[in-house]
Structure 1
Amino acid sequence: MGPLGPTERGELAARAREIADDLATGAVRAVALTWVDNAGVTRVKTVPRHRLPHIAAWGVGASPVFDVFCVDDSITTSRYIGGPVGDLRLHPDLDRMTVLAAQHGWAWAPVDRWTQEGEPYPACQRMFARRMAVRLADAGVRMRAAFEVEWFVGKTADDPVPATTGPAYGMTRVVELSDYARDLLDALAAQDVAVEQFHPEYASGQLELSVAPGDPVAAADMVVLVRQTIRAVAGHHGLRVSFAPMVAAGQVGNGAHLHFSLWDGERNLFAGGDGPYGMTARGESILAALLDRMPALVCVTAPSVASYLRLVPQRWAGAFQCWGRENREAALRFVTGVTGAHDTAANAELKCCDPAANPYLAVGAVCAVAAHALDAGLKLPAEVTVDPAALPEPERPPRLPDSLPTAIARLERDDLLREAMGEELFEAFLAVRRAEAETFGDREPEEVVAATRWVY
């Protein structure tokens, strides 16, 4: 991605003018432009519709200090980023422009962040995801990915009062929330979001929704859009939602499991090979590398203090550094699909991923590891076919980090992820993680959960 010159700016303005005219016919008056910071919080600038051509060409200003915002809106600093000086330009991705069905008069687009000199901003998380997807594609492989979306639906109160009293996975919840669920599915359909399934989850008031896979950047964009839509529809019904890793201390939390498959042309690298369950050699090598780097990767995919209240054994959170076919207690679950559909259905699920993660960083990090390991010839260790916690301690696989400081220490030592992210982004991300670990390190679980419950 090169610098923005006069030709590129002119083309962007012309295209945005056409889009703005189309938006006017749908009574859209303003556009929300979002990015996700290193705390995993979606931030926004909004512009009137008529400003879209100018904004597409020249961007809208935003301070780089957002890269060192923490979950409680306190501000830390890093080696390269921090303080009141400097400015960036937010450029909307016009290909992702979406009219928001649950927010009348509004449209949405994710942004890429550029410098004032028209150069890609090295700490832009969305650009990082794109760079790593391109790095993988340059090696001859493309990724298809999707995040599962889990959330808590509550009544409009500070305390987490579930909006449904139905049992886990129970039809009662669908009955009690049928109007909300119907309106949500209608809104997503109007936004061309391909929902594959929707169901009640385990925890009180918890629901889950799965969407069709896309390229890595599209997968991250999609989860931002879906969560925004879920929140907007809930507001119309007088409900409140939370995507926090933990909504009530000591209970099951919200996950954001990342499903992904890898393709060489039309061939799925997780099927039709000679490896475990039909994995190809390259597919197995990638999964082996991800499993090996999981203690560092988890700092990206489960990055908050609250994440480690969720990431515990026997909660289906993936707390152990192991893999297994359909093993929901393993950090890496391998999914073959039903017999006869392996070629298209086989995928891997990263279980140790929650909604506090910046989805662009999560998919970018997975792509970086995949590109590095593609032809490394790595082999997976022995599969774990039972609940890892039930094994005798000498046979039990290692636990993933059980606290944010431990995860930070592992990520700090990972040279591959440091190189992939670049020093500016890597150091800013670590600064936020260290600041949050210090802020919440001596607090009781109930205090941590209360402080983060309604942020995500």
Structure 2
Amino acid sequence: MRDRHGAADPSQLDPAARRVLERVEVDRVELVRFLYADHGGVIRGKAAGRRRLADRLGTGIGHTVAMMAMSMLDHLQPVEGMGPVGEVRIVPDPATFVPLPYAPGAAAMVSDLRQIDGSPWAACPRTFLKDAVAALEAEGYALVAAFEPEFTLGRRLPDPAGGPDRLVPVDDSLCYATTGFDIAHDYTMRLVRAMEDQGLLVEHYHPELGAGQQELSIRPATALKAADNHVLYRETVRGVAFRMAMWASLAPKPIPGQAGNGAHLHVSLWDPALERNLFADGNGGMSGLARGFVAGILDHLPGLAALSCASVNSYRRLEPRSWAGAYRCYGVDNREAAVRLCSPMAGHVETSANLEIKTSDSTANPYLSLGAVIHAGLDGIRRGLDPGEPVTVDPATLTDRERARLGVDRLPASLGEALDALEADELLMEALGPLRRDAYLAVKRSEVADFAAEDEAFETFQHFRVF
């Protein structure tokens, strides 16, 4: 049945979709953005008008298959099955519906990319994470995660020398200095309110090391919701800034010579009912399950980095003595190790046990990055791997012989090297599947080639503009 506007009868929709339609009316929403993350790490989407939303909740919005072969420079790559012929649907998840506080009259839903018949499409990143979560569930585990992003707040200004636009930071305050709190206060309060209005519960905020650099953390969630939250987080950080005639960038190195922006990934494994943290050993230490998970991540980390540090710009941040995790090792509260075991909080020793993956930033597609982490960690558990002894010093201070003895080595120093490692990683390549891995490698190889032909100013401009 159709109403007088030709739209589908809402009574035929499932309860979650009907709740969306009710909220659209109550909140006077005119456009609803259907969002997805592509292989270039860019958040893209289309928007449905209010009067046809009932239809689009079921059918999705038509979309060319070619968009998943598009790089962050909007250069389309030749990938079989992703050319001018063929279509998928951007199908929203009603459970992710949020009005956008920074865009009055608009709302958003995170979406899957599905085939015309409604079945999963082999290049859908969100489906990749769903499949990884299902693999965990089959083993009796649930993963809780949170991205911990940093970003640079400033203004986009022309280069006096005539080069690409520059990102000029809003302040030059010191790390954690109250000057930084005060200068960014109006923006920060709008950002916090916008986060909370979307159900993104703020845990911590502070000015970070770099000029204009901010860090704001939100509460952990189960794996799929954590990735969805990161999409909304990225959109909100930039959307609030744009509405205030400012610019915010989550790019790893938006300003040469300044501290880089990471998006450290915190994870822990729980029982399916989310009642017991399986990383805790009952004595404030790391369980055997956690050791296997850490070992799996370390084993696959060179290739995993191509998914978690997914841009050319990432590798300007991923350097020794930058607190970015440039060496493949783990340590207890060691912020130079690629994997940090976080000391538990007093009074919450069992529930707060988690590990932090530092080789992670916001140019990554969060669904691919987190899905690959799950596959790597689960592989370590299944194979009974052991991570060895933790590293208790900055690995850059060790000699080559000492690092060799401890099994510590340098992670890829460029996106090209990381892609080589990914191609050599049979587990991750198998998990990605033929279409997804072909498209991802084509897109990322093209970005390596395109930026190799340009200078640093072009690279930083394109990354702060896009991310």
Per the shorter chain, which TM-score range?
over 0.9
1:11 to partner: Cα distance: 5.3
1:414 to 419, 425, 429: 425
Give the match for residue 300 of structure 2: 293
1:14 to partner: Cα distance: 6.5
Mark the CA change 1:347 to 1:18 in structure 2 (over 3 Å): closer, same or farther: closer
Instruction: Give the unaligned 5+ runs of structure 1.
Output: 1-8
Output aligned runs, 1:334-349, within 5 Å: 334-349=341-356
8 Å CA contact 1:330–1:388 kept in 2: the answer is: yes
8 Å CA contact 1:96–1:110 kept in 2: the answer is: yes
2:33 is equivalent to residue 25 of structure 1: no
1:16 to partner: Cα distance: 2.7
1:218 to 217, 220, 225: 225
**Secondary structure of 1:395's partner?**
helix
For 2:12 and 2:332, locate their aligned partners in 1 and report how far apart those are by CA, in whole Å: 49
For 2:83 and 2:219, locate their aligned partners in 1 and report how far apart those are by CA, in whole Å: 40
8 Å CA contact 2:174–2:208 kept in 1: the answer is: no
1:18 to partner: Cα distance: 4.1
For 1:310 and 1:413, locate their aligned partners in 2 and report how far apart those are by CA, in whole Å: 24
2:73 is equivalent to residue 76 of structure 1: no
**Secondary structure of 1:374's partner?**
helix
For 1:167 and 1:374, locate their aligned partners in 2 and report how far apart those are by CA, in whole Å: 42
Residue type at the aligned position of 1:254:
N
Give the match for residue 271 of structure 1: 280
2:444 to 420, 433, 441: 433
1:455 to partner: Cα distance: 0.7
For 1:171 and 1:12, locate their aligned partners in 2 and report how far apart those are by CA, in whole Å: 51
Output aligned runs, 1:349-364, within 5 Å: 349-364=356-371
Give the match for residue 128 of structure 1: 128
Give the match for residue 241 of structure 1: 248
1:438 to partner: Cα distance: 1.3
CA-to-partner distance for each residue in 1:236-277, whole Å, 9 max, x for gaps? Answer: 322111111111123221101110111125332221268xx6
For 2:282 and 2:19, locate their aligned partners in 1 and report how far apart those are by CA, in whole Å: 48
TM-score w.r.t. length of structure 2: 0.92
Mark the CA change 1:10 to 1:111 in structure 2 (over 3 Å): closer, same or farther: farther
Give the match for residue 6 of structure 1: none
CA-to-partner distance for each residue in 1:265-291, whole Å, 9 max, x for gaps? Answer: 5332221268xx622222211110101
1:408 to partner: Cα distance: 0.8
Give the match for residue 4 of structure 1: none
CA-to-partner distance for each residue in 1:88-109, whole Å, 9 max, x for gaps? Answer: 0111100110111111111110
1:234 to partner: Cα distance: 1.2
For 2:62 and 2:148, locate their aligned partners in 1 and report how far apart those are by CA, in whole Å: 32
Corresponding residue pairs, total: 445
2:96 is equivalent to residue 96 of structure 1: yes
For 1:442 and 1:395, locate their aligned partners in 2 and report how far apart those are by CA, in whole Å: 38
Residue type at the aligned position of 1:338:
M
Output aligned runs, 1:4-403, within 5 Å: 12=13, 15-78=16-79, 80-157=80-157, 158-265=165-272, 266-272=275-281, 278-396=285-403, 397-403=408-414
Give the match for residue 3 of structure 1: none
Q: Structure 1 vs Structure 2: percent identity of aligned residues?
A: 38
Residue type at the aligned position of 1:181:
T
Give the match for residue 5 of structure 2: none
1:37 to partner: Cα distance: 0.3
Give the match for residue 443 of structure 1: 454
TM-score w.r.t. length of structure 1: 0.94
8 Å CA contact 1:112–1:124 kept in 2: the answer is: yes
1:450 to partner: Cα distance: 2.3
Q: Identify the range of structure 1 (436-445 vs 385-394) with the bigger mean alpha-carbon deviation.
A: 436-445
8 Å CA contact 1:309–1:445 kept in 2: the answer is: no
**Secondary structure of 1:341's partner?**
coil
For 1:388 and 1:128, locate their aligned partners in 2 and report how far apart those are by CA, in whole Å: 34
Mark the CA change 1:11 to 1:262 in structure 2 (over 3 Å): closer, same or farther: farther
For 2:47 and 2:14, locate their aligned partners in 1 and report how far apart those are by CA, in whole Å: 17
Give the match for residue 424 of structure 1: 435
1:441 to partner: Cα distance: 2.2
Instruction: Give the unaligned 5+ runs of structure 2.
Output: 1-9, 158-164
For 1:14 and 1:390, locate their aligned partners in 2 and report how far apart those are by CA, in whole Å: 58
For 1:147 and 1:335, locate their aligned partners in 2 and report how far apart those are by CA, in whole Å: 14
CA-to-partner distance for each residue in 1:285-338, whole Å, 9 max, x for gaps? Answer: 111010111011001001111111111011111100000011111110111223
